[in-house]
Structure 1
Amino acid sequence: MTDFGGMAAQIDRHRAEMGQDRHGEVVQLLPTLFVWRDPATIPPRPWLYGHHLLRRQMSVTVAPGGVGKSSLTIVEGLAMASGRPLLGDRPTDCLRVWLFNLEDPRDELERRVIAAMLHHRIAPEEVEGRLFLDTGREQPLCTAVQGRNGVQILQPVLGRLEAQLRTRQIDVFVVDPFISSHSVPENDNGAIDRVAKEWAALAERCNCAIELVHHTRKLNGEDGTSESARGAVALLAAARSGRVLNRMSETDRDKAGVKDDPATYFSVTRDKANLAPTSQRAWRRMASVQLPNGDSVGVVEAWEWPNAFDGLTVANLLAVQRAIDGKHPRKDPQSQGWAGYIVASVLGLNAEMDKARIKQLLTGWIKSGALREALIPDEKSRPRPCLEVGEWASV
């Protein structure tokens, strides 16, 4: 059987060595003189969704298994197709989005999409004609294989994919997961570099953004970065934007006062950004949606880190000050006389379960001057950091 893909790859390499393009034309390498132009006339970068997806560029999302990366891309796809800021980021327009999941069957993908539409109250007509959904179970997608002579880019596959991206005028193409879209050694930097650059070149030719979803290596309980991606680092190097998903840690759960399962919460951090500043963590939560058929489906929704002072008033602060006045409770949360116990009693909080929030409240009140630190002798005449009323609150 003739290996046409391997032959095409060898021809491309030979032409590159000879300084020719794919049509056999000699590429002239001539210096171009820089000419100043009014910066106002330079087109702004064509961001499509937040500062992660950019037209004519390839981006990467990295996450451990089971965090919710596929569910996240589905909700983001619905946000872009409907033009609605479902997770906070507003798409530039109603975009044409193609989600290509290479692992799950169609009925599972439809469950997730429909559950997300119900949860976020998206009517079918809001995405009609702009959302495309496919599975590798029905249409395998492999862009490169490892042959006898090295990596073989399957140009016929890329050609058919390019034709569809152009014909359907796709703005955003999501491949999930990346590892299922090729058959080359994932730890081979040279091989992954060729595969990744083919995706970047396809985004350029088709004037679209391409998102590759990838797994992290084993993290042993530690938070990952986009550099924690499995296999060769060449994939991230070829991307213009990289972001990582991390489950909420027990420490963050305590700080945020989360009472339910922290495994349903995860953060999104864009930590590799060549064309925009990197971002702080954005938080997401997996909500459980019941379908009429009885299935329970996880759907991603935005979640804001709670502000310790939410729901509190000046009257609450005044009540705390009155309870603390003259008692000089200890500043140290490990002390039996900690001021936090007074705060908990006044505000109806649990001193242990709400400890992180109470510590934030005390820190905030000290910074504002409502409370202040004072060194007060203990029963052994040793000075201890205690708290007393600073500037009284006025209702």
Structure 2
Amino acid sequence: MNNAHPLIFSGIPVLETTSAASFAAKPLPCREFLDSTSLMPCRNVVLMSGDGGTGKSLLALQLAIAVVVTGTDWLGIAVRSGPVVYISAEEDQQETHIRLAEICAADGIDLSAATDLHICFMAGEDAVLAFESGKGARLQTTEVFKRLIATLELRRPLLLVLDNLADIFSGNENNRSLAKQFIGLLRGLAIRFDCTVLVLAHPSLTGLNSGSGSSGSTAWSNSVRARLFLRKDIDANGWEQDKDRRLLETMKANYAPRGQPVGLKWREGRFVRSDPPKPFDDVTVANLESVQEIFRTGKYRAEERAAEWGGYVVASILGLDIARGISTDERTSEQKQARKKVRQILATWMNDKAITTELRPDQNRKEKFFFTVPAQESEAFLTGAKTRLTGA
């Protein structure tokens, strides 16, 4: 439709529409993503939150370097190559220089190759892109927003990083309408310039305590297509065992599975991949066969509170300390993690039908569940168990 001559109905210009039938004659488009895991969609906004000092800016700089320097990856994830515009309203030029030098030195990257990483340093300056205007809960864009558009016209980035939400948005974060309007403005930039917009943000106190990483209105999370939460690795007792360790968790992903948190370790000035141990790490098929042989005796109970719980058999074979005879409050965090691992192993073997349970009288003639092994072992569940050992 020609916007200069809009269709008029009852004296009012109608909204421009597209007939769905017109798609039939066009080739089917493909969704495009910045990364190989389909986590960061192009032409969309992604939100990455994290408490101050967790390393959001550092992680975003690592992503920027991976995008602009061909042949590099981000935390082991392949990314597309292209220009990046990074609006830094938190870190100054000196600190960013140090971080980039450390990232490149640690990963063997020539910093001089990052010619397409365009950084705008606005720490200590007015970086607001939009502010609340009047009483109607409407946003008004600023001169900085206009200058950002001009910058994007010039640089045509594949990735736009905005660091930080508190610096670029001047409005009530708890106002759903304002949050949706602001993400809408950024989505407009993503569509217009065919790029991914990554916004860094601090979670609220509630978001931190709940583990959701959210901030203000739920509209922030609802309006973006993906949301990441960078957090410290806190154990069940609330302790941070390793201050150099972080977890990057996918809280929302419209086009990718949420999956398990990605473990990160701060090393030589940047983060490297360090995933948490999986339940079946160091577990072999021979271990399973040993457990099956013992469970055939029918002496071991399925209830964890029982003195003869089958989990103690698994723990003994794997050499795990799960604090037998010690109350929950007395167990260390390592013992709690080991007990959790045993539960996960038993649950998986049950699901694969490598082991099962049967209800029968105990020595006191009370009906209880005991672990046992299926009468007819099939190659199917043994194959499934083997798959779990390598892929769980």
Q: Aligned to 1:373, what secondary structure does the other structure show?
A: strand
Match of 1:128 in 2: 114
Q: Aligned to 2:144, what secondary structure does the other structure show?
A: helix
Q: Aligned to 1:53, what secondary structure does the other structure show?
A: coil
1:22-61 correspondence to structure 2 within 5 Å? 29=15, 32-38=18-24, 41-49=27-35, 50-61=37-48
Segments of 5+ residues of structure 2 without an aligned counterpart are: 7-11, 324-334, 387-392
Q: Aligned to 1:210, what secondary structure does the other structure show?
A: strand
Write the deviation string for residues 190-224 of structure 1: whole angstroms up to 9, x where unpaired.
54454443333333333322222222222262221
Out of 170, 173, 185, which is 1:198 matched to? 185
The residue type paired with residue 266 of structure 2 is S
The residue type paired with residue 224 of structure 1 is S
Separation in structure 1 between the aligned mates of residue 345 and residue 218 of structure 2, nearest angstrom: 43
What's the Cα RMSD here? 3.9
Q: Aligned to 2:29, what secondary structure does the other structure show?
A: coil
Match of 1:221 in 2: 209
C-alpha contact (below 8 Å) 1:153/1:195 kept by paired residues: no
Match of 2:224 in 1: 239
Matched, 1:280 2:258: yes
Write the deviation string for residues 45-67 of structure 1: whole angstroms up to 9, x where unpaired.
33223434344333323344444
Matched, 1:357 2:341: yes
Query: Cα offset for 1:38?
Result: 4.4
Segments of 5+ residues of structure 1 without an aligned counterpart are: 1-18, 21-25, 291-296
Matched, 1:187 2:174: yes
Length, aligned pairs only = 353
Write the deviation string for residues 136-174 of structure 1: whole angstroms up to 9, x where unpaired.
227642223456788673543222222222222222111
C-alpha change, 1:87 and 1:333, in structure 2 (3 Å) is same
1:1-395 correspondence to structure 2 within 5 Å? 29=15, 32-38=18-24, 41-49=27-35, 50-83=37-70, 84-91=72-79, 93-119=80-106, 121-124=107-110, 127-137=113-123, 140-145=126-131, 153-219=140-206, 221-224=209-212, 228-230=214-216, 232-236=217-221, 238-245=223-230, 247-248=232-233, 250=235, 260-261=241-242, 264-271=245-252, 273=254, 276=255, 279-290=257-268, 297=269, 299-326=270-297, 328-352=299-323, 353=335, 354-390=338-374
Give percent identity, aligned residues only: 20
Q: Aligned to 1:203, what secondary structure does the other structure show?
A: helix
C-alpha change, 1:223 and 1:138, in structure 2 (3 Å) is closer
Write the deviation string for residues 46-93 of structure 1: whole angstroms up to 9, x where unpaired.
3223434344333323344444433332232233223544335422x3
Query: Cα offset for 1:113?
Result: 3.3
Deviates more, 1:44-53 or 1:147-156: 147-156
C-alpha contact (below 8 Å) 2:212/2:251 kept by paired residues: no
The residue type paired with residue 347 of structure 2 is T
TM-score by structure 1 length?
A: 0.73
C-alpha contact (below 8 Å) 2:298/2:370 kept by paired residues: no
C-alpha contact (below 8 Å) 2:233/2:241 kept by paired residues: no
Separation in structure 1 between the aligned mates of residue 178 and residue 240 of structure 2, nearest angstrom: 46
Write the deviation string for residues 242-268 of structure 1: whole angstroms up to 9, x where unpaired.
4444555635x99xxx99539833242
Query: Cα offset for 1:180?
Result: 0.6
Query: Cα offset for 1:133?
Result: 3.3
Separation in structure 2 between the aligned mates of residue 54 and residue 102 of structure 1, nearest angstrom: 24
